[in-house]
Amino acid sequence: MTSSPSTSAPRKPQRRRGELGPVARVGTHVTLSVASMIALFPIFWLLYLSLGPDKDDYLHPGGIAAKATLDNYWFVLTNTAFFDWLWSTMVVAGGTTLFGVMSAATTGYAVSRMRFPGNRTLMWVLLLTQAFPIAVLIVPMYEIFSRLGLVDSHFGLILVNCTTIVPYCSWLLKGYFDTIPIELDEAGMMDGLTPFGTFWRLILPLARPGLAVAAFYAFITAFAEVAFASTFLLDDSKYTFAVGLQSFISEHDAQWNLMAATAVLIAIPVTIFFYLVQRHVVTGLTAGGVKG
């Protein structure tokens, strides 16, 4: 009597640890798609409104598609001080980024590496400055800068912006410097480098992702800042974009179509800057929170 070979049920493939199931994958993709649509909708809506030829088209957006035009962009580029605003904005944002990030980098490095009386107190004082609202700071700062002759100047606005940017970036970069081994500093000292030489030649190249995050924050903050710019800039030829947009609004009227077209044009420099630093941004955001 022969026995038939035993048949065994096929094994189900085991799911690896952390691997999502089919339902979870579909749910994740749907969630991310919806989140992307929510994030992108304001951008597409602004672009859509900028194509309307009339200032009141935003009240009846359904009719814009039938009469869409690029005349708003042409008007902004040829009949406004757009390029003066562009130059002023680039000077202020670029100067704030350069001066603010370097000041924050030296401050963060000093607190991270050096032990001096009040080093921890210094960082807490910098953090405390972020608790004061801008409305409280404008009046005394305007008085000080007026006496120094820095009102209505790009350099004065750069210094004002640094008062809000340097404290935050100092904390950010201090946390990033903490992740860099101190043995590198000691090796630089043994090779004859001064403390500043060690900072400049060894530490800063390694801190490039953290510097990219700080630079992006400084640039965006200075680029979009309104309160300080509208207070410290008096000459309309020195206006930044944030202040120049106010010229489309009067007491009884607002040219929303021109504002939308200007806003789309304004987004181009920010997009270019983000593209240049985006490969370092994620690394810098995650590394800065490891220690400190």
pLDDT tens figures, 82-122: 999 999 999 999 999 999 999 999 988 988 888 777 777 87
Q: Which pLDDT value is given to residue 3? A: 52
Q: 20 in a domain, yes or no?
A: no
Residues 47 and 171 in one domain: no
Q: Which pLDDT value is given to residue 18? A: 60
Q: 73 in a domain, yes or no?
A: no
pLDDT in tens, 163-222: 889 988 988 898 888 888 888 888 888 888 888 888 888 888 888 888 988 998 999 999
Residues 145 and 278 in one domain: yes
The model carries a pTM of: 0.80
Domain span at 184: 80-288
Q: What band does 290 get if pLDDT is binned at 50, 70 and 90?
A: very low
Residues 45 and 128 in one domain: no
pLDDT in tens, 137-150: 898 999 999 999 99
Q: 74 in a domain, yes or no?
A: no
CB-based burial of residue 281 (10 Å sphere; 0-12 exposed, 13-18 middle, 19+ buried)?
middle
Say if residue 291's pLDDT is above 50: no
Say if residue 24's pLDDT is above 80: no
Residues 147 and 199 in one domain: yes
Of 73, 91, 201, whose CA–CA distance to 155 is shortest?
91
CB-based burial of residue 209 (10 Å sphere; 0-12 exposed, 13-18 middle, 19+ buried)?
buried
End residue of a domain, out of 19, 40, 68: 68
End residue of a domain, out of 68, 100, 130: 68
Least confident of 9-18, 29-38, 55-64: 9-18
Residues 41 and 128 in one domain: no
Residues 46 and 184 in one domain: no
According to DSSP, residue 96 is labeled H
Say if residue 56's pLDDT is above 90: no
Residues 155 and 62 in one domain: no
pLDDT in tens, 245-278: 888 887 777 888 888 999 899 888 888 888 877 7
Residues 213 and 95 in one domain: yes
Total number of domains constituting the chain: 2
Q: Which pLDDT value is given to residue 285? A: 56
Rounded distance between C-alpha atoms, residue 221 and residue 107, angstroms: 20
End residue of a domain, out of 68, 88, 119: 68
Please give the structure tokens belonging to residue 161: 């912006």
Residues 38 and 149 in one domain: no
Q: What band does 4 get if pLDDT is binned at 50, 70 and 90?
A: low
Residues 158 and 45 in one domain: no
Residues 106 and 174 in one domain: yes
Which residue did the predictor score with more confidence, 131 or 167?
167
Residues 215 and 139 in one domain: yes
Q: Which pLDDT value is given to residue 103? A: 93
